[in-house]
Structure 1
Amino acid sequence: MSISRAARTLAGLAAVPTLLATSLALPARAADWTPPSVPAPVTIPQLPGITVPDVSKVIKTPGWLPNPVDAEQLADFALFKALSVFPQLSVSPLCTPWWAGRDGCKPSLGVGSTPVFDEEFDKPLSQSKDWVATTTSSYRYGNHNPDDSKLDWISPQAVQVADGVATFTARPGNRWLENGERAWTTGLLTTEGSPKGFMVRTGDYVEARVKLPTGLGAWPALWTWKDGGNEIDSFEYHPDNPAILELSNRVLPAYDYWSGLSAAGDDGWVTIGTKYGQNSVEWYVDGVRVYKDLKGVGPGWSAYLILNLSVSDGRYHPGPDGTGPIRFQADYVRVYR
């Protein structure tokens, strides 16, 4: 038999107190539970055609079970266990870490899912009507911002496009910030002020494929900005914490330090997506939902996109450990509506 999403959630929740408490040795009331520092023993049967992730890693991931408790994730886990008992039960899984690798586990983009922004970095930025690479209102002085623990001094020459990839390169510059720190020349792309002036809005899904840097001091990010705020961070990354992506909603504050990155695979490339939901913002890594904040952005939210490589001044994360260049790459940025 097959069941709808709503029925699946109800059925799963009914099974949660028994299945979850038994399999994870957790309290019957999920609200009483906090993630253990050491993974509890878990045994999940391998099912035909389903690739099951290492559950111990999922348990250690802060974002696997949001607070307040995400009923859908609990329901999915309970029904995942139930499949071993009732193999005739057929379900369409939600995109949670429990279902990583299952066919059909893709972000819920909504009705239509029409591409409305598609940057493949297949032409010079000088020909682009989508981006501005010289200034942003998110920086106090337009092209630099010593107030935010950054050494950045934006230069369009610091972003080069070749072979379908944008490469952001940060190097020590010959300018000094107002706080006395030496600036690093680096790259930033924003849709703010561009000929098209594209903005994401409530309900959109943005996705970028990026290659994360390894050098200390690097601070790449994909985020939004408008009118002094409206900020949603699809990700921020610091190589001193190589397994962590910082995911933040600064509109209705919520955040998660998702620690399942595992160095983004052997080649460093990772696909990161964000659904700007009215009532909940959702984050995806390589097609799997890793966090939903249950806060959202509200019905009338909109903002410009920013993709950039900042350089940390050492206050909260280590600064550069030398004068060599720091690089960050992006394969594409796409928005669906």
Structure 2
Amino acid sequence: MARAAIAAAATLAFAVHSDAAEIDLSKFRIAFAEEFDFIDVSPWGENGSRWIAHTPWNGDFGDARFADPAPDHPFTVKNGILRIEARRNAEGIWESGLLAGVNRDWEGFTRRYGYFEARMKLPPGDGVWPAFWLNSREGVELDVVEYYGHDDDQFASVWHIWADEDEGGHRSDAKWTAVEPGSLTDRFNTYGVLVEPFKVTFFYNREPIWQFEAPWDVNPSFFPLVNLALGSGWPIDETPDPSYLYVDYIRVYEPTD
């Protein structure tokens, strides 16, 4: 996940519609669909669960600990909607939730190319830091949406290449998309990214907001993640307790041609 400092170091400009067209999903078929009629998650993929509750490299981030799933926290499902909850535990420590689509052995769902999309309603309030993102074993990361609760009229889309210094070191770029204030937290919206062999296009409500040539020289296989983190350098002393991220679905589409 990007940190505020990383995003600040990237090229930050309000996103504008590119020359790309609104995505036509009639030219795709579903390769992965999580509709959240129930939640199949374990801490590390025990019994072959679909999701694990930590990053496969076992790295938490932000100011809330990602908790193992329990009967009432941090994941609950009702009427086909996943709710990820951030709250302080009995010791006053913030705990929240993350879902990753592969386990520590990098087993699970991955795709090199396709359209990855989530439909979500984001939590309001200072200090919240929800995201839908893709990562890969090859060190390429695509943050489809990162939202910072203190600033409710925009969200960030980011790419990262994580590499050792002898391989060029870390590189990244970001684009901010301006939205109607409060529109990300009072309704559901879709956030997507189309990954093609030589091109990447980010979408908001299926309209293009940023397109660029793929800046990597590897063939990453991406897996989805979704989480409700806190902080990222911003204070959490006034973060609502509890805070909720709602996820309607996560889907991955592949071209029919």
TM-score if structure 2 supplies the norm length?
0.76
Change (3 A) 1:209 1:169: same
Tell me the amino acid that sits aligned with residue 62 of structure 1: F
Structure with more strand by fraction: 2
Aligned twin of 1:150: 63
Distance 1:241 1:234 in 2: 17
Q: Is the 8 A contact 1:245 1:261 kept in 2?
A: no
Distance 1:263 1:256 in 2: 19
Distance 1:217 1:199 in 2: 31
Distance 1:331 1:193 in 2: 23
Distance 1:237 1:265 in 2: 9
Partner SS for 1:239:
coil
1:44-88 residue CA offsets vs partner (Å, 9 max, x unmatched): xxxxxxxxxxxxxxxxx72216xxxx6xx3xxxxxxxxxxxxxxx
Alignment of 1:28-43 (within 5 A): none
Aligned twin of 1:159: 75
Q: Is the 8 A contact 1:276 1:296 kept in 2?
A: no
Shift of 1:292: 1.2
1:177-235 residue CA offsets vs partner (Å, 9 max, x unmatched): xxxxx64111111111199700131x211111100110222111011223383211011
Aligned twin of 2:50: 130
Among 115, 119, 135, the alignment partner of 2:30 is 115
Say whether 1:219 aligns with 2:143: no
Structure with more helix by fraction: 1
Aligned twin of 1:199: 110
Aligned twin of 2:155: 245
Aligned twin of 1:325: 242
Tell me the amino acid that sits aligned with residue 242 of structure 2: P
Say whether 1:264 aligns with 2:186: no
Q: Is the 8 A contact 1:130 1:196 kept in 2?
A: no
Alignment of 1:1-337 (within 5 A): 62-64=14-16, 73=19, 94-95=20-21, 106-107=22-23, 113-125=28-40, 129-133=49-53, 135-140=54-59, 145=60, 148-156=61-69, 157-174=73-90, 183-193=93-103, 197-201=108-112, 203-227=113-137, 229-251=139-161, 253-264=172-183, 267-298=186-217, 300-312=219-231, 315=233, 317-321=234-238, 324-337=241-254
Q: Is the 8 A contact 2:56 2:103 kept in 1?
A: no
Change (3 A) 1:293 1:138: farther
Change (3 A) 1:119 1:245: same
| Structure 1 residue ranges without an equivalent (≥5) | 1-60, 74-93, 96-105, 176-181
Q: Is the 8 A contact 1:155 1:185 kept in 2?
A: no
RCO higher in 1 or 2 (8 Å CA, sep ≥ 6)? 2
Distance 2:193 2:144 in 1: 6
Shift of 1:261: 4.9
Change (3 A) 1:188 1:149: closer
| Matched-pair identity in % | 24
Higher Cα Rg: structure 1 or 2? Answer: 1
Tell me the amino acid that sits aligned with residue 212 of structure 1: L
Distance 1:139 1:320 in 2: 26
Distance 2:139 2:172 in 1: 12
TM-score if structure 1 supplies the norm length?
0.59
1:146-201 residue CA offsets vs partner (Å, 9 max, x unmatched): xx4433232313011111000000011356xxxxxx64111111111199700131
Distance 2:90 2:212 in 1: 42
Size of the aligned set, in residue pairs, is: 224
| Structure 2 residue ranges without an equivalent (≥5) | 1-12, 43-47, 162-170
Partner SS for 1:216:
coil
Shift of 1:139: 4.0
